[in-house]
């Protein structure tokens, strides 16, 4: 198979590219990425010379370019991850999010449609897999603010620390109720993907995933930002009282789910991917502080004084919680790590890769690739 992975230089995308390149040497993996601020080819140094890997610098909104690439590379499948994803940025600049997340997805869909329809086999053996977010569902009530022991059993939810904060969870049949420009743009893109199946018969799949964490995440997101700030004794800005709840999933577990769904998921289905692993933001922050302090040889909890409460984000959803039982039941996937294990691995990675963090926070990685593509 020849597979385009869009956004493959980003956080989740780079993990998916690495998995597919290493696991499927018989595939050709084309990493299509515009290399915005969140795209970094240093994330893929370990696979960039593999014979089955190719990088193409391109904007997904470039319909003509994408269509020609599909023809030139005889593309069989698309795993579409490219998106603007930071809620705070979407509040300040909703136009960019609509352009990339909606029009970019439509560009990819139309290019795939025209190319695949031109082939003798048409849709046979083809697949358009769109990765979305749990934020399209809106927010859940906090009916148990102090948490309750969950009524489910998975590796990631069996520990005493993994509590549910309400009886309801996001399921695949829930009505969409996006509350931010980011989630509204992702919701719209989801609708376009499903419409291309219903209208044209395109073989599509959509997944909605909970918050990811792990290596190579751009440090505007909570966990890598706070790890870096703790290391340098900088303030840790916490929205509101830190009471908002999120379901967390280690990024490599998400990549494994994407692999499984791409190969064995049912066409036209939606699958939720989550860890059954709810944490209040303030509790996550305390775990990160204790872990960083311990690994840096500081007294555990020393840096709790860095926590600084700031004005809450506009329209800040209180609780997200994914029900991924359909994926577990039908395809046999489940998270492999408990949160404490994943956080330990994540903190160690960022502390051991300070050069990567310094290049990202300084912006040096952007200049490197600008010079590369300018021929200098």
Which residues are catalytically annotated?
134-135, 182
Q: Name residue 272's beta-bridge partners.
A: 208
Taking CA 73 as the corner, what is the angle to CA 70 and CA 76, rounded to the nearest 5 degrees? 70
> Alpha-carbon distance 53 to 349, whole Å?
24
Phi, psi values for residue 60, rounded to 5°? -65, -20
Q: What is the phi-psi region of residue 227: left when phi exceeds 0, alpha when psi lies from -120 to 50, beta otherwise?
A: alpha
Q: Give the ranges where the chain is alpha helix by DSSP (H).
A: 11-23, 63-73, 87-92, 94-97, 104-117, 181-200, 222-231, 251-264, 281-295, 325-331, 339-352, 354-362, 364-373
What are the C-alpha distances in Å from 344 to residues 89, 107, 250, 306, 340? Answer: 29, 40, 11, 20, 6
Structure letter (DSSP) for residue 150:
-
**Under 8 Å between Cβ of 158 and 135:** no
> Alpha-carbon distance 166 to 319, whole Å?
9
> Alpha-carbon distance 4 to 100, whole Å?
17
Q: Roughly how many angstroms between the first and final C-alpha of the chain, as a whole number?
A: 34
What are the C-alpha distances in Å from 307 to residues 234, 243, 284, 317? Answer: 9, 14, 12, 21
> Alpha-carbon distance 6 to 58, whole Å?
9
Residues with Cβ within 8 Å of residue 64, at least 6 apart in sequence: none
Q: Is 375 helix (H, G, I), strand (E, B) or coil?
A: coil
């Amino acid at each position: 198979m020849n597979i385009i992975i869009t956004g493959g230089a980003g956080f989740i995308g780079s993990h998916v590219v690495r998995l597919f390149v290493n696991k499927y040497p018989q595939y050709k993996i084309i990493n299509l990425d515009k290399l915005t601020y969140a795209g970094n080819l240093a994330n893929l140094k370990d696979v960039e010379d593999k014979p089955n890997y190719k990088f193409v610098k391109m904007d997904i909104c470039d319909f003509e370019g994408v269509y020609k690439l599909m023809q030139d590379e005889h593309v069989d499948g698309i795993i579409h991850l490219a998106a603007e994803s930071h809620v705070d940025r979407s509040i300040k600049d909703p136009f960019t999010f609509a352009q990339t997340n909606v029009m970019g997805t439509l560009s990819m869909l139309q290019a795939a449609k025209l190319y695949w329809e031109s082939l003798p086999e048409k849709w046979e053996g083809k697949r358009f897999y769109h990765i979305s977010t749990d934020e399209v569902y809106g927010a859940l009530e906090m009916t148990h603010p102090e948490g309750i022991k969950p009524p489910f059993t998975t590796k990631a939810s069996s520990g005493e620390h993994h509590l549910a904060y309400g009886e309801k969870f996001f399921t695949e049949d829930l009505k969409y109720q996006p509350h931010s420009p980011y989630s509204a743009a992702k919701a719209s893109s989801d609708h376009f993907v499903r419409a291309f199946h219903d209208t044209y018969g395109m073989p599509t799949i959509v997944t909605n995933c909970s918050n990811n964490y792990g290596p190579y995440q751009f440090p505007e997101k909570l966990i890598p930002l706070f790890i870096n700030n703790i290391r340098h004794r900088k303030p840790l800005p916490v929205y509101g009282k830190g009471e908002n709840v999120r379901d967390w999933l280690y990024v490599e577990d998400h990549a494994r789910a994407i692999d499984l769904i791409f190969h064995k998921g049912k066409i036209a289905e939606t699958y939720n991917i989550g860890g059954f692993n709810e944490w209040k933001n303030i509790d996550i922050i305390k775990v990160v502080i204790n872990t960083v302090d311990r690994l840096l040889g500081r007294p555990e909890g020393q840096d709790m004084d860095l926590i600084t409460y700031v004005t809450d984000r506009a329209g800040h959803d209180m609780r997200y919680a994914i029900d991924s039982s359909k994926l577990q039941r039908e395809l046999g996937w489940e998270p492999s790590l408990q949160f404490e294990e994943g956080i330990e691995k994540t903190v160690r990675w960022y502390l051991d890769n300070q050069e990567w963090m310094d290049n990202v926070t300084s912006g040096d990685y952007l200049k490197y690739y600008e010079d590369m593509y300018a021929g200098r």
